[in-house]
Amino acid sequence: MPEVKKRDNWGSRLGIIMAVAGSAIGLGNFLRFPAKAAANGGGAFMIPYFISLFLLGIPLMWIEWTLGRYGGGFGHGTAPGIFHSLWQKNRFIKYFGVIGIFGPLVIFIYYLFIESWTLAYSFFALTGKYTALMDQNSLRSFLAGFQGLERNQYFNSIGTAYIFFLLTFLLNIWVIYYGIKGGIEKFCKLALPLLFIFGLVLIIRVMTMGTPDLSKPDWNVLAGFGFLWNPDFSALKSAKVWLEAAGQIFFTLSVGIGVILTYASYLKKADDVVLSGLTAAATNEVAEVIFGASIIIPAAFVFFGPVDIKSIAQSGVFNLGFVTMPLVLNKLPLSAILGFLWFFLLFLAGVTSSVSLAQPAVAFLEDEFNINRKRAVTIFGIAAFVLCQPAVFFLGRGVVNELDFWGGTFFLVVFATIETVLFVWVFGMEQAWDEIHKGSQMSVPKVYKFIIKYITPLFLFIILGMWFIQEWLPIIMMKNVSIADKPFVFCTRLGLLFIFVILAVLVKIAWRRKRVG
């Protein structure tokens, strides 16, 4: 029988909380959340948002922390092994766990390129490369040229973007290479405080902006907060708003991906998952609801007013982050410094998320094939680098949208549904409740026993059911994809199927080796 290698572990409770919070705090907190809130009823959006947080997000957070710690006790750090530990009599359940490696990997291979834009724009801010651009069309053209979508007076190739992609990729691999304690934990303990400091400086600057145009006294920061938070209760009648809110909770807490399972697998049996999970979730919510809602929309409102801000909020996260916000900051004193703070804040948030997305694949190689960290990271790095290329070179062909839908939307809900049913109905609610409270310093309110067993899975089935009713056929038939982009989208789907099959085969090989051993 092969010798079982000692698994890595966290250095402190603060380290695991910072790492899980760092995984959750990403570009979505500062770009996606304010855009979704403003476009879906403003303050009314927060009603389904907080309902989803308490009935879906927090229960799933506790489920994943508990499952991860439980599976780690059997030497498993990823969903195939953890699911097998829960239901050993079922020889197929481990293949459902493939989603917990597949999803993070798919998100990683497109997220990294977007993350690299924030590093590039941090550099551009300090060097003044875009600070002379004072209208949205110029900044859109600048972004498109940088992304390689067009050749213009700013960029004549994707070369600059590719250099920053390489730098971002190497930084991620470097952090992952040094492991859980020496790499990810150390980086997150440095990055998160810095991120919050940058965010606080930007919030203070936004709050003290005043009214640039004295002829329009209603264009002020307070009115900007009103636009974001004043509720349009009629929006609550729309199923889309409820789905958007639930989707944001998945996205912001990093639940349903498989990352928290892996991070929690490095806990000791007596480590508290109740308080630690709640603290990590609360840290993320502070970043999202306070920081994310207090910077970009109020700042843009001051310069664009109540009419244009609606179209700006609905224009997409890329336009908000890389066009609108630079334009606003360019109109302020010390625009270079403020631009750097904004984009480097996004970069730090991006890296703390992307390193977590890489960890499940690396942990799978380490745990199930019993290979060392250096070799596992090398294998992952080579494979991930190759897989990143379509997202880089075919950004404008629908590839990233396709990757985001399957890896970052659909399979999140599917995986969350599987792990919840497995935890409360196969493992058993009584045993699950005891497992949650092992080593805990606080008790989960008893109402959550009912919520986790009935409400959370029902909520998930409703989301899936509504998606199948409303979205399934148009997406499968590519009805919203242009004719020119359909070959690229189809090839992306074939590539995703290939990745999933390869991962399933690796799971089969790993379990066969264990039986032989």
Which residues in 373-384 are b (16+ Cβ under 10 Å) and which e?
Answer: beebbbebbeeb
Q: What is the per-residue pLDDT for 517?
A: 53
Q: What is the per-residue pLDDT for 336?
A: 94
3-state secondary structure of 223: helix
Q: What is the per-residue pLDDT for 122?
A: 97
Percent of the chain with pLDDT over 90: 69
Closest CA to 23 of 199, 203, 244, 180: 180
Question: How open is the CA angle 180-164-187, to the nearest 5 degrees?
Answer: 20
Q: What is the per-residue pLDDT for 303?
A: 87
Low-confidence ranges of the chain (pLDDT < 50): 1-3
Closest CA to 121 of 138, 137, 142: 142
In this structure, are residues 9 and 266 in contact, taking their beta carbons and an 8 Å threshold? Answer: yes
Q: What is the per-residue pLDDT for 211?
A: 80
In this structure, are residues 109 and 156 in contact, taking their beta carbons and an 8 Å threshold? Answer: no
Q: What is the per-residue pLDDT for 2?
A: 45
The amino acid sitting at 322 is: F
Q: What is the per-residue pLDDT for 1?
A: 40
pTM: 0.94
Q: What is the per-residue pLDDT for 5?
A: 62
CA distances from 245 to 238, 308, 413 (A): 11, 24, 13
Domain residue ranges of the chain, discontinuous segments joined by +? 13-516
In this structure, are residues 106 and 257 in contact, taking their beta carbons and an 8 Å threshold? Answer: no
pLDDT tens profile 113-143: 999 999 999 999 999 999 889 898 999 999 9
Q: What is the per-residue pLDDT for 516?
A: 65
pLDDT tens profile 32-42: 888 888 878 77
Q: Which listed CATH number (1.10.8, 1.25.40, 1.20.1740, 3.30.2170) goes with 13-516?
A: 1.20.1740
Please list the residues that pair with 42 across neighbouring strands.
Answer: 231
The amino acid sitting at 226 is: G
pLDDT tens profile 377-410: 999 999 999 999 999 999 999 999 999 989 988 8
Supply 242's token pair: 């409820």
- H/E stretch holding 165 reads helix 159-177
